[in-house]
């Protein structure tokens, strides 16, 4: 961890520029961009290190059958332990919840302030109100009549693709951090149906792509996303059977935690990487038995479940002894 930290604390730009080849710089830029912060900010190199290290050790796996399979597996396990799950009801106030010794709130600070209201101490509400939200995503899901005709045949064996050069990715992350529309958005592509045939009818394929965009942007980035894919895969547009577009507003409507399209649970500023969401105990709140377990707590966003794990450990250590 110390060796990781010695490099991870640096700006992403320092790590990227350590590579002599354009390919190496582009690879690290794409990984670092997952932090959704400008490449001159401290701790940006930690993202640039994390993803390649994970790829070398484990690869970048995805769930057979789609991400719903992860939810189904977790739900099945919870039910096997006697747990109950209720869906389809918006919780607008903590008072609507049944009495419980412990409540783990999988919500961002702004949502907790809304549903907690006056039950939260005013000082704590004020501290949560200072939590900074990050840039947004603009996502497009595609149904395709055939695999993507990549010019570079090596991309036919890749599940996750970053589109862009080190320079274009750096420019995009710089712009969106300041609320400016990027000239060329950074685009991430996933083509899981190449490896998981359950995701599409025989002979057809699915693909999703999303771009990093300014928080709350109302601009339609679908053409820019498709243009970048088309440049590397001429004829892509002719394969599109249907598309489903999710703007920042759509992402928030789907999940209020994605405020203005921020899917990472808050900006990765230096302060919020070290103290997320506030200084002190990150999971416990001043309300007895109420804990935060969302991606706004350490270690942040990702398909890892560690925010909930550590929140549960905190609750077990204090409330259920």
Q: What is the pLDDT of residues 98-135, one digit of tens each?
A: 999 999 999 999 999 999 999 999 999 999 999 999 99
* Res 251: pLDDT: 98
CB 264 within 8 A of CB 36: yes
Q: Is the pLDDT of residue 58 over 90?
A: no
C-alpha pair distances (Å), 218 with each of 162, 267, 305? 23, 20, 31
* Res 61: pLDDT: 87
Q: What is the pLDDT of residues 187-197, one digit of tens each?
A: 999 999 999 99
> Would you state the structure tokens that stand for residue 87, as one six-digit string?
């869906």
Backbone angles phi, psi at 292, to 5 degrees: -95, 135
Report the candidate in 134, 211, 130 with the shortest Cα–Cα distance to residue 179.
134
* Res 320: pLDDT: 67
Report the candidate in 272, 274, 219 with the shortest Cα–Cα distance to residue 247.
219
* Res 60: pLDDT: 86
Q: What is the pLDDT of residues 202-226, one digit of tens each?
A: 999 999 999 999 999 999 999 999 9
Report the candidate in 140, 316, 317, 298 with the shortest Cα–Cα distance to residue 229.
140
Tokens 């808050």 — which residue?
Answer: 266
Q: Is the pLDDT of residue 161 over 90?
A: yes
Using CA atoms, how far apart are residues 195 and 24, in angstroms rounded to an integer? 26
Q: In this structure, how many other beta carbons lie within 10 angstroms of the beta carbon of residue 149?
A: 15
Using CA atoms, how far apart are residues 111 and 266, in angstroms rounded to an integer? 12
pTM: 0.93
| Close Cβ partners of 252 (under 8 Å, ≥ 6 residues apart) | 258, 259, 260, 261
Q: What is the DSSP string of 82-98?
A: T-----S-----GGGSP
Using CA atoms, how far apart are residues 205 and 213, in angstroms rounded to an integer? 26
Q: What is the pLDDT of residues 282-320, one digit of tens each?
A: 999 999 999 999 999 999 998 889 999 999 999 998 876
Using CA atoms, how far apart are residues 76 and 56, in angstroms rounded to an integer? 31
pLDDT-based confidence at residue 280 (cuts at 50, 70, 90):
confident
Q: Is the pLDDT of residue 321 over 70?
A: no
Q: Is the pLDDT of residue 176 over 80?
A: yes
Using CA atoms, how far apart are residues 283 and 105, in angstroms rounded to an integer? 9
Using CA atoms, how far apart are residues 290 and 107, in angstroms rounded to an integer? 12
| Close Cβ partners of 268 (under 8 Å, ≥ 6 residues apart) | 35, 36, 37, 43, 47, 134, 300
> Could you say which DSSP state residue 258 is in?
S
CB 11 within 8 A of CB 45: yes
């Amino acid at each position: 961890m110390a060796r990781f930290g010695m490099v991870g604390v640096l700006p992403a730009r320092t790590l990227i520029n350590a590579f002599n080849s354009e390919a190496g710089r582009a690879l690290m830029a794409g990984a670092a961009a997952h932090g959704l912060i400008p490449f001159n900010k401290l701790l940006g190199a930690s993202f640039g290190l994390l993803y390649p290290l994970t790829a070398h050790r484990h690869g970048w796996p995805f769930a057979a059958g789609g991400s719903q399979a992860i939810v189904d597996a977790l739900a099945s396990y919870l039910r096997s332990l006697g747990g109950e799950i209720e869906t389809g009801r918006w919780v607008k106030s903590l008072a609507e919840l049944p009495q419980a010794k412990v409540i783990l709130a999988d919500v961002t600070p702004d949502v907790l302030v809304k549903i907690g209201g006056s039950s939260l101490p005013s000082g704590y509400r004020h501290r949560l109100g200072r939590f900074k939200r990050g840039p947004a995503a603009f996502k497009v899901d595609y149904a395709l009549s055939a695999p993507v005709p990549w010019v570079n045949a090596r991309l036919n064996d890749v599940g996750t693709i970053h589109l862009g050069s080190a320079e274009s990715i750096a420019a995009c992350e710089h712009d969106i951090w300041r609320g400016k529309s990027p000239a060329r958005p950074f685009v991430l592509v996933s083509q899981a149906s190449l490896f998981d045939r359950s995701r599409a009818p025989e002979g057809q394929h699915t693909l999703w792509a999303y771009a990093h965009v300014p928080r709350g942007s109302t601009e339609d980035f679908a053409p820019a996303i498709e243009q970048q894919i088309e440049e590397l895969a001429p004829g892509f547009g002719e394969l599109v059977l249907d598309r489903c577009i999710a703007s920042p507003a759509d992402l928030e409507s789907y999940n209020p935690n994605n405020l203005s399209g921020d899917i990472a649970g808050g900006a990765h500023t230096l302060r919020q990487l070290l103290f997320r969401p506030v200084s002190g105990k990150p999971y416990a709140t001043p309300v007895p038995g109420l804990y935060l377990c969302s991606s706004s707590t350490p270690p942040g966003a990702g398909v890892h479940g560690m925010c909930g794990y550590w929140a549960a450990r905190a609750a077990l250590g204090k409330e259920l002894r």
